[in-house]
Amino acid sequence: MSKNPNYKWLVLVIIVLIMLAVPSFFWMKKDNKSRAELSKSLLSPVIMVPGSSATTERFNDLIDELNKTTLNRHSVIKIKVSREAKLTYSGSIGKNDLEPFIIIGFDNNKDGYTNIKKQAKWLDVAFESLIQNYKFNNFKAFGHSNGGLIWTYWLEHYYSEYSDNIKIKKLMTLGTPYNFTESNINNRTQMLADFIKNREKLPAFLKVYSLSGGKNYESDGIVPETSVAAGKFIFQNQVKNYTAITVTGEKADHSDLPQNKQVIQAIRQYLLKKPNKPLKPIKRKDNH
């Protein structure tokens, strides 16, 4: 009796299916493991981006002040991104530190909308590297001056790639010139117009805190108050909360703002986990 010719084909099909199924199984297993690691992670870093002409050393004094009132010091990682998008790491995360500071700076730290777009891309390269290395599922963002612009551009153009697995809980901007040096809000720069145009891409659950310096009634010495306030046209009624805060007193100049006592208090109160000792709340203006 001759064998059924279809039998050979059936065996061949089964072998092919097995060959396809085995790598798929291991890929799914690896993918599920990666997702499990993300969901179990208790790490919630604060990722900081300095402004134009500033380096990864920009927030040293700020972090030193914040560490004076915490039982477990916040450790620090610094990442420098070259013009070729190569990353240089320094520092490490402490064993028991669940809220480290991660500072991302750029070799090309110049001003201008074109550079801000480049810097947002470099931020994305660094961010992708971070989530691969440290497996966190949520974070908070902080940007001084143009650092806030870089974060805003990144949120509108890159964040959606990560939003299923990684949640940005809060964004705090400090002296961020959303309309650059333009003091008349009716004269909108191309950058501000683009931010407003793409605002629907911002995560609806995000809490945004916009801090401005009050050296005088018009500016922090460099950035017009109306330029910082222009952020409301981007975030208000788009994200969960948009809060505008004006800080005054000593070190209210633009370049000194990261060392301003009210800024440090605002970071403790709104950006970080609950501090170890009570702090007096600062006045704020909420816009929902």
Across 66-76, average pLDDT: 87
What is the pLDDT of the chain when averaged over all its residues? 87
Q: Which class for 15: exposed (0-12), middle (13-18), buried (19 or more C-beta within 10 A)?
A: exposed
- CB under 8 A, 24+ apart: contacts of 277-282: 277/69, 282/245
pLDDT at 48: 98
- Cβ neighbours of residue 228 under 8 Å, at least 6 residues apart? 175, 176, 177, 178, 210, 212
Q: Which residue type occupies 203? A: P
Amino acid identity of 254? Answer: H
Which helix (DSSP H) or strand (DSSP E) does residue 88 occupy? strand 87-91
Q: Residue 35 in 3-state DSSP?
A: helix
**Letter for the amino acid at 280?**
K
* C-alpha 205, offset from chain centre: 14
- The three-state secondary structure class of 231 is coil
| CATH class of the domain comprising 45-287 | alpha beta
Q: Categorize the per-residue pLDDT at 279 as very low, low, confident or very high, splitting at 50, 70 and 90.
A: very low
pLDDT digits (tens, 9 = 90+) for 180-197: 999 999 999 999 999 999
Residue 6 has what pLDDT? 61
Average pLDDT of the segment spanning 145-161 = 98
The 10s digit of each residue's pLDDT in 204-258 is 999 999 999 987 767 877 899 999 999 999 999 999 999 999 998 888 888 889 9
Q: Which of these, 214, 199, 179, lies nearest to 285 by C-alpha position?
A: 214
- What percentage of the chain has pLDDT greater than the value 70? 84
**Where does the pLDDT of residue 280 fall: very low under 50, low under 70, confident under 90, or very high at 90 and above?**
very low
Contact yes or no for 224/182 (Cβ under 8 A): yes
This prediction's pTM: 0.82
